[in-house]
Structure 1
């Protein structure tokens, strides 16, 4: 498989991931905080159902394409691609181990009542969200650096 194709796939998937997480962090989270709790919980639960496949698919494709790119590369490009793959994997792990369990609780609250400590739990979800967003952006930056290096534009 040509390295340019793999690099393109890695850039596309990681850029989409960073963009989606960035939009969520910049626009959805502040909106969540500005609406009444029942509306937030209902919307959040439905949004996470829709995001389940697409976002995890983007994280997986970002990690795999970056890892393949690392295997195909040598020297600094290998380190950049490998780092991007690890950051995409980090984003996935934060999501699966941090956000997803809380999403399950939010889904329950949307049809019942939120517990008294709901604000602390929602703050924890937001912290995980910002961490996975940062990991996705860092992965994208490493791949951009790799692409610029390959094109000679960074010299």
Structure 2
């Protein structure tokens, strides 16, 4: 049963990392290359779509890693505990730094967006790069813990 938990946790976190890497290095550059109104509408739509799913994914990943750490405690779980700590950091970063920007962004239209909308999205993107690095590190630790 522990092996199944380890594999499921690693896969769930790995897929989440893939989505977030895709957002950072594929989707955002595509959206940013569109004309202003289209770019802003695309970011708002993406914020609504992923904003509805990602809280469950991030928190679910953290819960899975925590359960793995507890269930496998006697087998040396330093890597898993560290990964869970990084996933907790990603959740805290999301709640305190990224979600407030996303909550504003997902309601904007070309008529209602603030004058500094690009600066706000650029701040979100910079913070997102840091969060991606954190979850990549967590994923790498979980993968290493499997061996």
TM-score under structure 1 length normalisation: 0.85
The number of aligned residues is 147
Are 2:21 and 1:22 aligned? Answer: yes
Aligned to 2:90: 91
Separation (CA, whole Å) in 2 of partners of 1:144 and 1:35: 37
Give the Å deviation of 1:38: 1.4
Q: SS of 1:110's equivalent? A: coil
Distance 1:52 1:72, change over 3 A: same
Separation (CA, whole Å) in 1 of partners of 2:14 and 2:142: 9
Give the Å deviation of 1:74: 3.7
- Kept after mapping to 1: 8 A contact 2:48/2:106: no
Aligned to 1:46: 45
Structure 1 stretches of at least 4 aligned residues deviating more than 6 Å after TM superposition: none
Separation (CA, whole Å) in 1 of partners of 2:33 and 2:70: 46
Separation (CA, whole Å) in 2 of partners of 1:136 and 1:107: 24
Unmatched 5+ stretches in structure 1: 149-155
Separation (CA, whole Å) in 1 of partners of 2:61 and 2:134: 12
Alignment RMSD (CA, Å): 1.8
- Kept after mapping to 1: 8 A contact 2:87/2:134: yes
Separation (CA, whole Å) in 2 of partners of 1:99 and 1:41: 17
Give the Å deviation of 1:111: 4.9
Give the Å deviation of 1:109: 2.9
Unmatched 5+ stretches in structure 2: none
Are 2:136 and 1:137 aligned? Answer: yes
Aligned to 2:77: 78
